[in-house]
Amino acid sequence: MTHTHASPMQGTLVAMNKLTNISRLSLLLTMGALITISALIATPSTAHARKMVFEPNNVKHISYFPQTDYPLDVYIITGAKPGATGLIVGGIQGDEEGGYLAADQFIDMQVDTGTLIVIPRANAKAVAIAERATVVDMNRQFKNITYEKMRGAIETIKKYISEADVFINFHDGWGFHRKEYTDWSYSPDRFGQSVVTDSDEYTCSNDTILNLREPAFMAIKSANERIQLEKYYLEYFNTRTFEETSKYYTSMTNASTYYVLTAECKPAFAIEASKNLPTVRDKVLVHVYAAIPLLAYYGIIVNESVSPVVAPTMSHVVVDVDGTKYALQSGQTINVTQGSTVTVKNIYGNYQRGYTVDIIGVDAKGGRGQLDTNTPHVMSERGKVVANVYKDSVSVGKVFFQVQAPVQTPVQASVPAPVPAPVPRGGGETLSTGLATPTTPSLLASVNGQIGVYPVAQNIVLNKGDTFTPIYFLLPKTDVPYFVNIINIKGFVPKRLASGINTGNDMGHTMVAGVSDMLTQYAVRPTAGDNFGVGEVFPVVVEYTVANSVARNVEVFRIQILK
Ligand SMILES: [Zn+2]
């Protein structure tokens, strides 16, 4: 940056050093991840280098069948230029993490040309229990629906197939598909590390010929150029589904790709990463490396970008108790009155998608794979109820409801004090996020995916293009219970809100720093008389309630976006 700092900017400089450290940390983490996989997969080629351009309003999220066992979240990413439509489906089998995590990555990519429809977790319940199938294998329901509970999901996937020009199903398969048998792992019978077709080419009933082999080979060649070790190369796998002599004749004719070819006369592929790759990130990269060129073959141009694949965490859940919302960190207990209706509304952490909660022992339900988010639960029995929080199948925390008898004067549900300190560090106590509690009121926020604690006395300095997610507001160690109502970045409207309505609460919403995302009339000068122009510094207002008092405390600090 080119500005000369006058002495009033001292605070900003300190804050910036802090941010630089965090940026450095995130860079180191990224490098660490690259070093881990360098033996396996080359770093992304410059041809696929990502432009940090944010296009607001380009992702449409539609949730089908919420509060059922087979909810379906569909994301439609509209490209800058019109073109063909590609459909990516992940998680149709629940024990294939590379597939659904890679599908998630595509939702965050920028589409230059065409439209991308992504269904990251076709079978969300199977994903939550990390099992291939629930009652039946969802990928064997496409010829005939034999399990009625899946009908809605299957028919919705078919609706999107009818809108797409090419279908790609992301799977993780065992071993490494090879033409020659070496051993169990390297064999023609294994599906891992392959691009799968049902046939080299397929002639539709209207005589249209779909060539599947050529685009598959092109994608494999492109991906293999970025995979360093030959033992991890992708291979082409034609299951010859249409030939009665093929061992896959019976099973694959029930699968999605066969349906796409025969019912819709559209090209269909499965990309199979290997379940035996060393890291989850490797599996994700295999899908990305093969799908980007495959989509490009059909004219759908996607700017490749891959967010860090790290261990999932939760920062807090938002719980609605009889219409009042509370934010709870992992380990916290909230007292509720017997007969209250409790709903876990949102779960925040270091990922945008894939969080579920399972409230145990209420409504005679509970158990792994119970998808209880947004489902009202009536707390009819006194005692302690646990809500287990998962990111996909990974347990990331739990919160508790202490159900108490109603008293003469109705008692509003109360929020307890922060989690007791297990490991003092950095002068404070350790939160569930692993970060020390601050010594001054601070914002817990994620900058470029790295969670940090930002004292309110200092400006938060962002570079243009940085992502910034306010997570929670932290008070210094106190015995007084409090909860946060609103964190409002003035001038920032979360564009991806389904309603399009700015509620003023930006908690959990990701802002990409840059003038295009901000309403500049809200900008202020960071300090009177300094050299910074209008349009770069935005106030942040936090409203929190201490204990159950009606009084609200407001803290203001500022985000500065560098040009
Ligand atoms: Zn699979």
Question: Mind listing the pLDDT tens digit for each residue in 269-299?
Answer: 999 999 999 999 999 999 999 999 999 999 9
Task: Confirm whether 357 is domain-assigned.
Answer: yes
Residues 554 and 432 occupy one common structural domain: yes
Residue 552's pLDDT is: 56
More confident residue, 74 or 506: 74
pLDDT band at 491 (very low <50, low <70, confident <90, very high): confident
Please tell me what DSSP assigns to residue 150: G
Please tell me what DSSP assigns to residue 56: T
Please tell me what DSSP assigns to residue 98: H
Residues 35 and 157 occupy one common structural domain: no
Residues 472 and 512 occupy one common structural domain: yes
pLDDT band at 379 (very low <50, low <70, confident <90, very high): very high
Range of the domain at 461: 1-44+428-563
Residues 336 and 442 occupy one common structural domain: no
Task: Confirm whether 507 is domain-assigned.
Answer: yes
C-beta separation of 155 from 339 below 8 A: no
Determine the distance separating the centroid of ligand 1 and the alpha carbon of 555, expressed in angstroms.
Answer: 50
**CA–CA distances in Å: residue 304 to residues 33, 105, 110, 270, 346:** 18, 9, 8, 19, 29
Question: Does residue 312 register a pLDDT over 60?
Answer: yes
Determine the distance separating the centroid of ligand 1 and the alpha carbon of 95, expressed in angstroms.
Answer: 8
More confident residue, 392 or 52: 392
Task: Confirm whether 308 is domain-assigned.
Answer: no
Residues 68 and 203 occupy one common structural domain: yes
Task: Confirm whether 414 is domain-assigned.
Answer: no
Question: Does residue 36 register a pLDDT over 70?
Answer: no
CATH number of the domain that 343 lies in?
Answer: 2.60.40
Q: What is the mean pLDDT of residues 535-549?
A: 67
Nearest Cα to Cα of residue 445 among 490, 502, 511, 496: 511
Q: What is the rounded CA–CA span in Å between residue 35 and residue 496?
A: 35
Determine the distance separating the centroid of ligand 1 and the alpha carbon of 301, expressed in angstroms.
Answer: 26
Question: Does residue 148 register a pLDDT over 50?
Answer: yes
Residue 178's pLDDT is: 98
Determine the distance separating the centroid of ligand 1 and the alpha carbon of 145, expressed in angstroms.
Answer: 18
Q: What is the rounded CA–CA span in Å between residue 447 and residue 451?
A: 6
More confident residue, 408 or 378: 378
C-beta separation of 263 from 167 below 8 A: no
Question: Does residue 454 register a pLDDT over 50?
Answer: yes
Task: Confirm whether 289 is domain-assigned.
Answer: yes
Determine the distance separating the centroid of ligand 1 and the alpha carbon of 157, expressed in angstroms.
Answer: 16
Residues 394 and 500 occupy one common structural domain: no
Lowest mean pLDDT among 120-124, 182-186, 355-359, 526-530: 526-530
Handedness of CA 404, 408, 410, 412 (dihedral sign): negative
Question: Does residue 498 register a pLDDT over 60?
Answer: no
Lowest mean pLDDT among 189-203, 284-298, 392-406, 546-560: 546-560
Residue 387's pLDDT is: 94
Q: What is the mean pLDDT of residues 335-357?
A: 91
Please tell me what DSSP assigns to residue 285: H
CATH number of the domain that 79 lies in?
Answer: 3.40.630.10
Determine the distance separating the centroid of ligand 1 and the alpha carbon of 113, expressed in angstroms.
Answer: 29
Question: Mind listing the pLDDT tens digit for each residue in 416-449?
Answer: 333 332 222 223 333 433 445 567 777 877 788 7
Task: Confirm whether 412 is domain-assigned.
Answer: no
Residue % of the chain over a pLDDT of 70: 72
Residues 236 and 341 occupy one common structural domain: no
Q: What is the rounded CA–CA span in Å between residue 419 and residue 329?
A: 8
Q: What is the mean pLDDT of residues 185-192?
A: 97
**Phi (first) and psi of residue 456, to 5 degrees:** -70, -20
Residues 165 and 36 occupy one common structural domain: no
Residue 516's pLDDT is: 56
Residue 434's pLDDT is: 41
Boundary-marking domain end, from 389, 404, 419: 404
Residues 109 and 231 occupy one common structural domain: yes
Residues 185 and 250 occupy one common structural domain: yes
Q: What is the mean pLDDT of the chain?
A: 78
Nearest Cα to Cα of residue 121 among 374, 349, 350, 353: 353
Residue 502's pLDDT is: 52
Determine the distance separating the centroid of ligand 1 and the alpha carbon of 92, expressed in angstroms.
Answer: 7
Task: Confirm whether 421 is domain-assigned.
Answer: no
pLDDT band at 524 (very low <50, low <70, confident <90, very high): low
**Total structural domains within the chain:** 3
Residues 230 and 292 occupy one common structural domain: yes
Max Cα separation, the chain?
A: 82
- The H-or-E segment that residue 216 falls in is helix 213-224
Boundary-marking domain end, from 404, 436, 461: 404
Determine the distance separating the centroid of ligand 1 and the alpha carbon of 171, expressed in angstroms.
Answer: 4
Kindly give the pairing relationship between strand 341-349 and strand 377-378. Answer: antiparallel
Lowest mean pLDDT among 109-118, 170-179, 327-336, 485-494: 485-494
C-beta separation of 234 from 195 below 8 A: yes
Select the highest-mean-pLDDT range: 20-24, 39-43, 281-285, 344-348: 281-285
Task: Confirm whether 434 is domain-assigned.
Answer: yes
Determine the distance separating the centroid of ligand 1 and the alpha carbon of 174, expressed in angstroms.
Answer: 9
Determine the distance separating the centroid of ligand 1 and the alpha carbon of 175, expressed in angstroms.
Answer: 13
Residue recorded with tokens 């660490």: 32
Q: What is the rounded CA–CA span in Å between residue 84 and residue 112?
A: 11
Determine the distance separating the centroid of ligand 1 and the alpha carbon of 91, expressed in angstroms.
Answer: 8
Kindly give the pairing relationship between strand 201-203 and strand 209-211. Answer: antiparallel
Residue 517's pLDDT is: 62
Residues 379 and 443 occupy one common structural domain: no
Question: Does residue 142 register a pLDDT over 50?
Answer: yes
Determine the distance separating the centroid of ligand 1 and the alpha carbon of 291, expressed in angstroms.
Answer: 16
Determine the distance separating the centroid of ligand 1 and the alpha carbon of 168, expressed in angstroms.
Answer: 12
The number of CA neighbours under 13 Å toward the Cβ of 464 is 14
More confident residue, 11 or 210: 210
pLDDT band at 365 (very low <50, low <70, confident <90, very high): low
pTM, two decimal places: 0.67
- SS3 call for 22: helix
3-state secondary structure string, 342-361? EEEEEEEECCCCCEEEEECC
Boundary-marking domain end, from 404, 439, 460: 404
- SS3 call for 270: strand
